[in-house]
Amino acid sequence: MSQKILVVDDEPEIVRLVRAYLERAGFVVVTAGEGRQALAVFRYERPNLVILDLNLPGMDGLDVCREMRRASDVPIIMLTARLEETDRLIGLELGADDYVVKPFSPREIVARARAVLRRAEGTPGRRRPETISAAGITLDVKRRAASVDGQTLDLTAMEFDLLRLLIEHPGQVFSRLQLLDGVQGNAYEGYERTIDVHIKNLRKKLGDDPQNPRFIETVRGVGYRFCRVTGDE
């Protein structure tokens, strides 16, 4: 069955173009032109992915993202203008998985959609353990469920895969681009700073203090690593 993508934008030409490329790539596409309509379509159609413009009339994209995230962990890709950096960061903090800056190539949208969906579902590959444990964190890879000290974590697809990558390589320092490449299968120059927001969200959910980290350590000028703990499984 084809995966369904909800495209939300108030510019009909952008919707038409993105829809055409996504359908050509084999996706089923539903659309909305403003915030409240987007939420109604979202609830009825139950898409596998949402492509969401932040600059919407009436109910803006950030509020739409917040409402969607309250109801579901469906992957969300934001569409933003170049001058909306603050909104991009807020959107990521609300739980969006990725963003694309306007003007963009429709081929980039298709590539990002495939990458985010692949990340959300798990990519077939070499056999890996179904459960990973380290420093009180447990990841159920098959169910894509996570917990810390027995408490369930509500992680986005990006957060889960970042945490998994770091845990699987304790003590190894990853640059931001390496982390992007590791979880998406490709890295986009200029987007690597989004990792900082996802790490910030992860730390908050883990209850980790960046000044005295138990789990994720910042390596100044380089990137991040999972703290190596004696006796980790």
What pLDDT does 186 receive?
56
Domains of the chain, each with CATH number or no CATH: 4-121 (3.40.50.2300), 131-226 (1.10.10.10)
Describe the crossing of helices 85-93 and 194-206 by its angle, rounded to 10 degrees: 30
Residue 9, judged by CB atoms within 10 A of its CB (0-12, 13-18, 19+), counts as buried
Q: What average pLDDT score do residues 97-117 get?
A: 86
**pTM of this prediction?**
0.62
Q: Which residues contact 38 (CB under 8 A, 6 or more apart)?
A: 6, 8, 32, 50, 52, 56, 64
Q: What tokens does 106 get?
A: 């429709």
pLDDT in tens, 53-74: 988 888 888 899 989 988 888 8
What pLDDT does 229 receive?
59
Q: What average pLDDT score do residues 83-110 get?
A: 81
124 has pLDDT over 70: no
Please tell me the distance from the alpha carbon of residue 89 to that of residue 167, in angstroms, as a whole number.
25
